[in-house]
Amino acid sequence: MEFFENIGKIRYEGKGATTPFAFRFYNPDEVIAGKTMREQLRFAMSYWHTMCAEGTDMFGTGTIAKTYGATDPMESAKNKAHAAFELMNKLDIDYFCFHDRDIAPEGDTLRESNARLDVIADLLGELMAKHGKKVLWGTANCFGNKRYMHGAGTAPNADVFAFAAAQIKKAIEITVKLGGEGYVFWGGREGYETLLNTDMAREQQNMAYLMRMAVDYARSIGFQGDFYIEPKPKEPTKHQYDFDAATVLAFLRKYGLDKDFKLNIEANHATLAGHTFQHELRVAADNGVFGSIDANQGDPALGWDTDQFPTNVYDTALCMYEVLRAGGFTHGGLNFDAKTRRGSNSPEDIFLSYIAGMDAYALGLRVADKMMRDGRLNDFVKARYASYESGIGKKIADGTATMAELEAYALAMGDVSTNQSGRQEYLEHVLNELMFFG
């Protein structure tokens, strides 16, 4: 059964493409910066937005049909799986990411939910083998069900904690069974609304313990991939514990989790935290925890998580610049945690949105490669810090200077005689040149 009958395989047609159902910039087998674009970008489909989200919002019901021709929830889940692989094949996407509850509907009991997961995971395994697709990462939805109204790993109720642990154990088993390269913790409701009812220290300690148990269990059943925490500052709770990359880093180090965990940086979450996407990526990379990316974009005029398909090439270029600087992905990739707008409600829109996002990242990679090869930006930064390469600066960089020595140096100097321009506008202009010439 074909679910997207009107749409054929999307191919690279380049500049002369005449149909919207073609890639203009994403040429999977073209080598850029030493690897094929396919290897550099490692695109993944998000199961939840793509196969499940029907376009509901606070004010209205769904506008996009996602039952795939079935009424029974398990039949629908099976059809969804077939439709997912058709979509990935047609878009030439190699990976997917999923929450447990995206792939199989929750049952009345944990036992029933797990049995349903087993059925669908077996089907996914067969389809993966048949179509050569892989799991970038799996995760557990520990936020949707009302039992998680106060959080999961940070719940004040130990029974809820236990339930979450059981659910995560199963999600890890499924991820490992399907050969997943990563496992994500996004702290759905791991945060709080008011300290008047919250023991923050206990909640964070419990969360760390849940993560420690998850790591130990996953390693015991052979998982060799990366764990990720996905920072997000707010929504749904007012204070999400995983606010941003720096906050998560402090948490990981405090609890000794930094050897097993890396970060999954989402563009829209970065902007919600008041940072640029590039900033969050740099914090992760500089601290050895750059892992994976949720590729989407927010709307600067809106203060919430709009999860739009990424089309802003400045952002994708600066993102891919960070990825290339960090040496590329290892287990991670670009997961399109993005949904079509509620008004973009036809199956064609899903394809057009993925094409837009994939092409925006392909363009970003092409620009980032030019930025690296051109070298002007890197050289500028290097020259800006040249004073630390010799003399007193080298002593500071080596950590051998003392306060007394620096005082003597400053007294002899009288005052700082030169301070060179930071040339921000010029550098932004260089970026434009690299983006739009040639």
Q: Binding residues for ligand XLS, per CB under 6 A? A: 99, 139, 184, 186, 230, 232, 266, 294, 305, 337
- How far apart are the C-alpha atoms of 85 and 91, rounded to whole Å? 10
**From ligand XLS, Ca ion, none, interface partner of 190 (C-beta below 5 to 8 A by class):** none
Nearer to ligand XLS, 161 or 228 (CB): 228
Question: Pick from 181, 226, 244, 266: which binds Ca ion (CB under 5 A)?
Answer: 266
- Is-catalytic flag, 102? yes
Out of 173, 203, 242, 294, the residue judged to bind Ca ion by CB under 5 A: 294
Phi, psi (rounded to 5 degrees) for 291: -125, -70
Please pick, among 99, 269, 275, 279, the residue that the annotation labels catalytic: 99
Strands 239-240 and 191-192: antiparallel
- Give whichever of 37 and 174 is closer to ligand XLS, judged by the CB atom: 174
Min separation Cβ 319 and ligand XLS, Å: 16
Burial of 127 from C-beta contacts in 10 A (0-12 / 13-18 / 19+): middle
* Residue appearing with tokens 């829109």: 349
Beta strands 35-36 and 31-32: pairing type? antiparallel
Shortest Cβ distance from residue 138 to ligand XLS (Å)? 10
Per the residue annotation, which of 49, 94, 100, 102 is the catalytic one? 102
- Contact at 8 Å (CB) between 280 and 318? no
DSSP state, residue 309:
P
Sole binder of Ca ion in the list 305, 322, 359, 369 (CB under 5 A): 305
Residue 139 binds which entry of Ca ion, ligand XLS, none, with Cβ cut-offs from 5 to 8 Å by kind? Answer: ligand XLS
Q: Can you say whether residue 364 is alpha, beta or left, with left for phi > 0 and alpha for psi between -120 and 50 degrees?
A: alpha
CA distance linking residue 232 with residue 228, whole number of Å: 13
- Which region among 145-153, 264-272, 396-404, 405-413 touches Ca ion (by CB under 5 A)? 264-272
Nearer to ligand XLS, 28 or 191 (CB): 191
How many alpha carbons fall within 13 Å on the CB side of residue 65?
12
| H or E element at residue 45 | strand 43-46
Return the one option of Ca ion, ligand XLS, none that residue 242 interacts with (CB less than 5 to 8 A, by type): none
Residues serving a catalytic function are 99, 102
Q: Which residues bind Ca ion (CB under 5 A)?
A: 266, 294, 305, 307, 337
